[in-house]
Amino acid sequence: MLNIGLKSNIVILTGAGISQESGINTFRDQNGLWHNYKIEDVATPEAFQKNPKLVLDFYNERRKHLLAPEIKPNAAHFALARLEHTFRGLVTIITQNVDNLHERAGSENVIHIHGELLKSRCNHCQIVSSIKDNIEAESLCQHCHQKSLRPHIVWFGEEPHYIDRCHQLLDAADLFIAIGTSGMVYPAAGFIRHCPDATKVEINTEETAISHLFHKTIMGPASMKVPEFIDFLIDL
Ligand code: APR
């Protein structure tokens, strides 16, 4: 039995598993993105230097898929938004996902540590802009007019965003919930060690590399288990 008690500062880490039932592939499950592509071909700065078209096409394809009408937030995204808007304390979502499904479900306090598919960044002036269309090697930055746009995605070998802010939040957290993440990619996989005072709950369809570090693992699909757990929290 999990003793949750009264909480005031909830940090939720989400990974690809929360968006799986919305129709977005995870990375490491069977049929995940990393079974069909090599990380070093499409998700490193070196890959972009060597073959920009291949890398841009990979993210253009994913952006197009995210914008398809059938891709919508699921019950897990909506439950987290409900928690943020009804809970008396602070609720922060730290997501490794580059989709916008948390925002589309109504969450406002979302930190994207691995970047966002619907943004580009200019390698010349560093300005980040919202985008819906493809980025091509010939695309011009609207600000400095150089042909130096790239996806606003954190590639392997690059520094994730907002990590100091995440550590501050984790330090003050009294409940940490990790949803649909395999615990294989750092620094997010190490967040659990940065919240010493928190009750730690994991929601996943299977055990992960870091399940033993949680007080409880709730096993099952996010679309079912997240709303159940959020109802339980809101009723406390
Ligand atoms: N409900 C809950 N969990 C699920 C579901 C589901 N419907 N479907 C899959 N999962 C779980 C899997 O069991 C797995 O533990 O989601 C996890 C997905 O793991 P990964 O594919 O490794 O995704 P993630 O942890 O988000 O990857 C981290 O790796 O390649 C990088 O930058 C990429 O942000 C990504 C990072």
Q: Which pTM does this prediction carry?
A: 0.97
Average pLDDT score over residue span 56-83: 97
Rounded to an integer, what distance in angstroms lies between the CA atom of residue 91 and that of residue 113? 16
Average pLDDT score over residue span 13-22: 98
- 114 Cα–ligand 1 center, Å: 13
- Split at pLDDT 50, 70, 90, the class of 7 is confident
Rounded to an integer, what distance in angstroms lies between the CA atom of residue 169 and that of residue 157? 24
Question: Which residue, judged by its Cα, is nearest atom 29 of ligand 1?
Answer: 185
Residue with tokens 């598919």: 117
Ligand 1 pocket residue status of 204, Cβ below 6 Å:
yes
Burial of 39 (0-12, 13-18, 19+ CB in 10 A): middle
Ligand 1 pocket residue status of 20, Cβ below 6 Å:
yes
Ligand 1 pocket residue status of 227, Cβ below 6 Å:
no
Tell me the percentage of the chain whose pLDDT exceeds 90: 90
Ligand 1 pocket residue status of 208, Cβ below 6 Å:
yes
- 69 Cα–ligand 1 center, Å: 23
Ligand 1 pocket residue status of 216, Cβ below 6 Å:
no
Q: Which residues have a catalytic role annotated?
A: 114
Question: Which residue, judged by its Cα, is nearest atom 25 of ligand 1?
Answer: 181
Average pLDDT score over residue span 58-78: 98
Question: Which residue, judged by its Cα, is nearest atom 10 of ligand 1?
Answer: 17
Considering only the C-alpha atoms of the chain, give the largest distance between any 2 of them, rounded to a whole number of Å.
Answer: 59
Q: What is the pLDDT of residues 128-158, one digit of tens each?
A: 999 999 999 999 999 999 999 999 999 999 9
